[in-house]
Structure 1
Amino acid sequence: MARAGPRAGPRMIVGLANEYYPPHAPGGAEWSTQALARALAVRGHRPVVVTPNYGAPAREEDGGVRIIRFPFPVKLPPGRRGLRPRAIANPLFALWAGLHLARVARAERLEVLHAQNKHMLVPGVLARALTGRPLLLTLRDGSLIDPAPMCLHHGDRRPPDCGVRKLWRECSEEYWALYQRGRRGRFTTKLAFLYGWLDACARQRFLARVDAVVGVSDGILDIYRRSGLLERVRRVETVYTIPPPAAPAPAEAAAEARRRFGLEGRRVVLSVGKLSPGKGTADLATAGARVVEKVPDAVVVFVGDGDIALPEASWCRRLGPLPNADVLALYPAADVVVVPSVIPDSLSRVIVEAMSAGRPVVGTRVGGTPELVVDGETGLLVERGDPDGLARALVRVLGDDALRARLGQGARRHVAARLAADRSVDRLLALYEEVRAR
C-alpha cells in the first residue's frame, strides 16, 4: 500500500536540541540532526531545532524546519571548529540551555523534546521538569561512559573496577601518554581527565529521567548495556542515522575532485576524521607505508585536524579540515575509504557518506561498524590496532578492480536499504507517539 501523503498542517511539533547545528558543525551529529529535521518536515511535521547561537541568525526557517538559537557569549566562525569541552560541559551551560529549551517548548508548543547528544541531556531533563514534555536522548558515542574512555580502546564495556583510584593511577596515565605527552603536563592532564569522568558520572544519573533512549546502532547500545548504564531506562530503541541523498556522482565530478586536490593518476585511500590515537590514525600511517610497497601509485589522503605527526612522504597527503561540501565531493574521487577506529564508533557518519557515494569501506570490527560494513559484501573488516591486517585489506581492494566495483555497489544498496530515511523516521515517530501517550 502506498504511503499516504502528509496531512495539511503540522502533525507533530518536535523539539530537537543539540549543542551545535549547521553552519557550526564540528562533528557528524549536527548533520545527522539536520537530516532528521528535514525528513520530519518532508513528512508534514514541524521540527524546531534549539541550539546555542555562535554567530548565526537567532531565528531561521529552512524548508519547514524552524531553527531557534538562544543567546551564547562565545562566537565561532562557520565550519568544523568547536568550543573547548568545558565551555559546555558545566552546570552553568546546563542551566542556561535548559531554561531556554523550556521557554521554546512553551512558546512553540512542542509536544516532544529530543536531545541529540549528551550535552543536551541535563538541559532536556530540566526542560522536561519545567514543562512536562516527554524527553528522548540519542546516544551517538561512548562519551557518556567517559569523555576519554580508555577502557574502550581495549574492550567493549566499562570495567567493573572503574573508579577514582583506577582512573588516577592507570587510565589517566595512559591517556596522557597517548594524547597529551608534549602538549600538557601530566598532573594537569590527570586533573582534566578526572573532571571529565566526574562530569560523565553526574550525567549518567540523569539517564533514568528520560522517557526513551535512542541509540544510532545496536553496537553502541550493547556497550552501554554491558556497562550497566541502561538498567533504569524505561525504553531503549535503535534508530539509524539518516544518510545523505544517494545520487551517483558523474565521472566528471570525480575527475574534477582529483584535479582539485592533486590526486590524478593515483589510487586514492581516503580517511576522514580527527587525527588521533582513538581514530586509529597511527595505525593507518603505518599501514600506508606497507600499502605503497605493493601498490606504488597509492596515496593516503587524511582529511581532518589533530596533532598526530604524519609521514613526510609522497604517498601521504594531509588536507586538514575541509567544509562538509568538499568532503562529500571527495568521496567519488576515492578508490576506497578507510575508517581504522580503535575506540568503537557508534555509526560512523563517514561510513554512511562513503557508502552512499558507492565507495567500498575498510573498517575495524568495533561498535556499529559491522552493521554497515559487511565483510566481503560492502567492504572489508579488520581487527582494531592491526596495521598489518589493515594494509592487507587496502592492498586487496586497490589491486582488484572487480572486487572494488562489487563492494561499492553493495555498499550503496546496503546503506539505502538499512538506513532508509522513511524507516528511521517511522521508528522515531512511533517512539514520539508512545512517550507522548504516557
Structure 2
Amino acid sequence: MKVVIAHSRYRSAAPSGENAVVDEEAMLLRSAGHEVIAFERASDTIADLPFPRRAAVPAQSIWNPAVRRSLTALLRHERPDVLHVHNTFPMLSPAVLDAARDAGVPVVATLHNYKLLCASGDFFRDGAPCHRCAGGELAPAVAHGCYRGSRAAALPVVAGLAAHRERWRTLVSAYHFVSQSQHRLLAGLRLPEDRVFVSHHGVPAPAPGHLREHRVAYAGRLDAAKGIALLLAGWEAFRAAAPASPMRLIIVGDGPLGAEVRAWAASRPEVDVVGALSRDDTRGVLASSLAAVVPSAWEEAFGLTAVEAMAAGTVPILAAHGSFPELVTDGVDGVLFEHGSAPALAAALAAIEADVSRHLLIGRAARSTYRARFTPQAALERLVAIFEFAIAHPVVPTALRTVSGVQGASR
C-alpha cells in the first residue's frame, strides 16, 4: 500500500524516542514493499525563522493553514491508501486531519504520549504524576503553567486542545495506542472504542557480539520526568549498603539535569557519564550491561529503553507504574520496583549483586519475551492490520479503493 506519514519532528537537541520510532517504522514499511512518503516539519527550524514567523509559531500550532493546503495537494496528487499521523505539535497542527478529509484519505493516528489531554504531554507536574486534566479539564494546565512552566506558553496549547477535540473524535478512522495503560489514562478523550487498537512498538535487536560487563546502565533523557533524582538516590543507597561492590553504573544521555548528574558523578569513580550516543551505540551499552535501570517518575506510555534492554537479553529494572507492568512479569523476564522508592531501587540493584546467575537467566527470559512480542516484524504486521481496518472503515467518504478481509489487530 501507499502510506503518507505526517510528523512534526522533535528538536534534535533533545533526542526523541518518538522520532526514532517514526523513522524505524518508515524503514520497515519500505523494506516490506510498501511505498512511504514523509510529510514532516522539524522544530529545529524554528530558531532560524525571522522573528515575525517565529512569533507566529504558537498560533500556527493551533491551526496551520499552510500545512492544510500543502498536505491536501500532496494527498490529492499521490492518492495514498492511508495517512498515518504521529505528532502534530507544534509544526503541523490538527490541520492535517482536515487535509485528509479534503482529499478523501483515511487517517490512522498513533498516540505516543498524553498530549491530546495534557499540555505537557506526560501527566507529570511538580515531580509527580498529575491527572488533573485526565477527564478533559483545561483550566488546571493554564493555572499551573504546565507547558514550559509558563501560563502564557500553556494558553495556546490548551486553546488548541479545546478547539480540536471533536476533530480528533470524528476525523480519525483508527486510533493506535501503544499500551493499555496509555489507553486507560486517555479515556477522557471519549474516542469511539470500535476504532481503538492497542499495539506495542517493535524494537530492533542490537548487533551481536557484546560481552557483559559488571555494570548497570541508564539510557535516556536527564530530566525530572525520567526519574533521574531517583536513579542517583537509589545508587547512593545501594553503595552505602555495599561500599566495596565492584558494580558500576553507566549513564547515557543528556538533558536539563546533565550538569547536575555530571557533578554528582565526579566524586564517584564507579559511575561513568558518557553523554548522548547514537541509537546503535546506546543499544550496544545496554547489550553489554547486566541490567538497565528505567526509574521513570512519569507514567511511560510505552518504554522504548526497557524493550531495547529486553532485545539484548539485559534485565530491565523498571518502576512499577505506567506501561511497565505490561511489558514484563516481575522476577520472570524483568524486575519491577516500587516507583519513587530509592530503597526499593537499591534493593533491586543489591539483588543483582547477590545473584548474578539468576539475573542472567532473567535476561534470557526477557530476550524470549522480546522475540514473542516486540520484534519489528510483529509490530509491522499489527500496524498494517490497523491500516487495513482504516482503509476498509473510513469515517469520511473516500475516493480511494478499500480492502476487504482485514486482519485482526490486538485491541
Q: TM-score range by the shorter chain?
A: 0.7 to 0.9
CA separation of 1:122/1:234 partners in 2, compared to 1, >3 Å: closer, same or farther?
farther
The 2-side partners of 1:85 and 1:222 are apart by 36
The 2-side partners of 1:90 and 1:278 are apart by 27
Map 1:2-17 onto structure 2 (within 5 A): 12-17=1-6
Residue 241 (str. 1) matches residue 201 (str. 2): yes
Please name the residue that 2:75 is paired with: 105
1:342 aligns to what SS in structure 2? coil
The 1-side partners of 2:62 and 2:385 are apart by 34
Q: Which amino acid in structure 2 is aligned with residue 122 of structure 1?
A: P
The 1-side partners of 2:312 and 2:153 are apart by 40
Q: Which amino acid in structure 2 is aligned with residue 301 of structure 1?
A: I
**After the TM superposition, which of the residue ranges 327-336 and 154-163 deviates more from structure 2?**
154-163
CA shift at 1:22, angstroms?
A: 11
Unaligned runs of 5+ residues in structure 2 are 394-411
CA shift at 1:52, angstroms?
A: 2.4
TM-score, L = length of structure 2: 0.81
The 2-side partners of 1:94 and 1:102 are apart by 12
CA shift at 1:36, angstroms?
A: 1.8
Of 9, 21, 25, the match for 1:36 = 25
The 2-side partners of 1:116 and 1:417 are apart by 26
Please name the residue that 1:303 is paired with: 252
1:296 aligns to what SS in structure 2? coil
CA separation of 1:328/1:97 partners in 2, compared to 1, >3 Å: closer, same or farther?
farther
Of 276, 281, 298, the match for 1:326 = 281
The 2-side partners of 1:30 and 1:43 are apart by 20
CA shift at 1:359, angstroms?
A: 0.7
CA deviations on 1:28-85 (whole Å, 9 max, x unpaired) are 1122122222222233221222212689xxxxxxxxxxxxxxxx67669xxxxxxx99
The 1-side partners of 2:392 and 2:72 are apart by 20
Of 84, 91, 95, the match for 2:65 = 95
Q: Is the 8 A contact 2:252 2:275 kept in 1?
A: yes
The 1-side partners of 2:277 and 2:246 are apart by 24
Q: Is the 8 A contact 1:136 1:210 kept in 2?
A: yes
The 1-side partners of 2:56 and 2:326 are apart by 33
Q: Is the 8 A contact 2:206 2:280 kept in 1?
A: no
Count residues with an aligned counterpart.
375
Residue 284 (str. 1) matches residue 231 (str. 2): yes
Please name the residue that 1:142 is paired with: 114
CA separation of 1:305/1:297 partners in 2, compared to 1, >3 Å: closer, same or farther?
same
1:325 aligns to what SS in structure 2? helix
Q: Is the 8 A contact 2:71 2:99 kept in 1?
A: yes
2:33 aligns to what SS in structure 1? coil
Q: Is the 8 A contact 1:99 1:126 kept in 2?
A: no
Of 31, 34, 40, the match for 1:51 = 40
CA separation of 1:369/1:399 partners in 2, compared to 1, >3 Å: closer, same or farther?
same
Structure showing greater relative contact order (alpha-carbon pairs closer than 8 Å, 6 or more residues apart):
2
Unaligned runs of 5+ residues in structure 1 are 1-11, 56-71, 77-83, 181-188, 255-265
Q: Is the 8 A contact 2:235 2:346 kept in 1?
A: yes
TM-score, L = length of structure 1: 0.76
Residue 273 (str. 1) matches residue 220 (str. 2): yes
The 2-side partners of 1:95 and 1:407 are apart by 52
Q: Which amino acid in structure 2 is aligned with residue 237 of structure 1?
A: F
CA shift at 1:200, angstroms?
A: 3.6
CA deviations on 1:308-336 (whole Å, 9 max, x unpaired) are 22224223332222222321221122221
The alignment's C-alpha RMSD in Å is 3.2
The 2-side partners of 1:292 and 1:356 are apart by 28
Please name the residue that 1:81 is paired with: none
Q: Which amino acid in structure 1 is aligned with residue 239 of structure 2?
A: V
Q: Is the 8 A contact 1:365 1:381 kept in 2?
A: yes
Of 168, 180, 192, the match for 1:207 = 168
CA deviations on 1:130-160 (whole Å, 9 max, x unpaired) are 2110011101112222132336933667455
Q: Which amino acid in structure 2 is aligned with residue 216 of structure 1?
A: V
Please name the residue that 1:191 is paired with: 152
Please name the residue that 1:183 is paired with: none
CA separation of 1:343/1:21 partners in 2, compared to 1, >3 Å: closer, same or farther?
closer
